[in-house]
Amino acid sequence: MSEVIVVTSGKGGVGKTTTTANLGVGLAMRGNKVVLVDTDTGLRNLDLLLGLENRIMYDLVDVISGRVAYKKALVRHKKFETLFLLPTSQVKDKSAVNPEQLVQLCEELRKEYDYILIDCPAGIEQGFQTAIAAADCAIVVTMPEISAVRDADKIIGELGRADKENIKLVVNRIRPQMVEKGDMLDMGDINDILSIECIGQVPDDELVVTSTNRGEPVITMENSHAGQAYRNIVGRICGEQIPFMEFPKEGFFAKLKRVFGR
């Protein structure tokens, strides 16, 4: 049985594309056949995060318009051979793909792939409605920050109106030391406020930046906390019961240094 998962957020820049890339790689590392569909029209990014930017020949709009078969447009990952990308178009016309067309494409993809992950544009306009149309499940990415949580609530409302009941939350860019000081919302707070089940909490991690620089998602890095968090989410998507990770507490010396200045 294949599953179509849309990764969405409301507010931009909270980590949708990062999450899509990492979950895609993680699911493929477990042997699943995975296709990532970038629907953020005009703002092509997912190819960069996967290191596939030089291999793109055709895009989603070419496929939807019937110019090429989807198999021709898919870009296979260099390292993870069961992972494919369907890149978004660089043209700015956001209405180039309508919901029915994406539903139809996903029906085709379901025949061949175990997981179809859709990277959604920010906002609640047409692009959002298109991205969610085919989804069995939505992952809402948010950050521990009031505006991101508020926008997540909007998106959750919109998903409800579109009869999408299966919604999971990912809280990204948590800074454990700020949480410890009582200066940042934690997963429990956000879970309580939004009343949506959390499927993961990802710490803010410099390795996300360096791995993005290299085009190799952080989930492949054994020693990264964010990587571990993404591996846990992948396990939960696959139905495993995995306890939420404890973030490393600030060390005694680091605390002393903070208290007594530099």
Ligand X SMILES: Nc1ncnc2c1ncn2[C@@H]1O[C@H](COP(=O)(O)OP(=O)(O)O)[C@@H](O)[C@H]1O
Applying CB under 8 A, does 255 fall inside the site for other proteins?
A: no
Nearer to ligand X, 123 or 235 (CB): 123
- Select from 8, 17, 142, 220 the one that contacts Mg ion (CB under 5 A): 17
Cα separation of 42 and 170, whole Å?
25
With beta carbons less than 8 A apart as the criterion, state whether 10 and 124 touch. Answer: yes
Nearer to Mg ion, 4 or 131 (CB): 131
Applying CB under 5 A, does 88 fall inside the site for Mg ion?
A: no
Cα separation of 237 and 90, whole Å?
31
Residue span binding Mg ion (CB under 5 A) among the ranges 17-25, 76-84, 89-97, 158-166 = 17-25
List, as one string, the DSSP characters of 136-164: SEEEEEE-SSHHHHHHHHHHHHHHHHTT-
Query: How many residues belong to the site for ligand X (CB under 6 A)?
Result: 18
- Select from 67, 71, 76, 181 the one that contacts other proteins (CB under 8 A): 181
Strand order across the 3-8 sheet: 75-76, 83-86, 34-38, 115-119, 3-8, 137-142, 167-174, 198-203
For other proteins, the binding residues in 91-150 under the rule CB under 8 A are 146, 149-150
Cα 87 from chain centre: 15
Cα separation of 117 and 229, whole Å?
18
For ligand X, the binding residues in 198-217 under the rule CB under 6 A are 202, 204-205, 208-209, 212
Applying CB under 5 A, does 18 fall inside the site for Mg ion?
A: no
The tokens describing 257, both together, are 């240094």
With beta carbons less than 8 A apart as the criterion, state whether 170 and 140 touch. Answer: yes
Strand blocks (E) in 12-92: 34-38, 75-76, 83-86
Residue span binding ligand X (CB under 6 A) among the ranges 70-78, 98-106, 147-155, 197-205 = 197-205
Mention every residue, 6+ apart, whose C-beta is less than 8 A from residue 229.
Answer: 200, 201, 202, 203, 245
From the list other proteins, ligand X, Mg ion, none, which binds 153 (C-beta under 5 to 8 Å, kind-based)? other proteins
- Least Å from the CB of residue 64 to other proteins: 30
Applying CB under 6 A, does 88 fall inside the site for ligand X?
A: no
Q: Give the burial class of 162: count Cβ atoms within 10 A of its Cβ; 0-12 exposed, 13-18 middle, 19 or more buried.
A: middle
Applying CB under 8 A, does 154 fall inside the site for other proteins?
A: yes
- Least Å from the CB of residue 20 to Mg ion: 8
Give the x/- contact pattern for other proteins in 189-208, rule: CB under 8 A: x---x---------------
Residues that bind ligand X (CB under 6 A): 9, 12-18, 45, 172-173, 202, 204-205, 208-209, 212, 226
Residues that bind Mg ion (CB under 5 A): 16-17
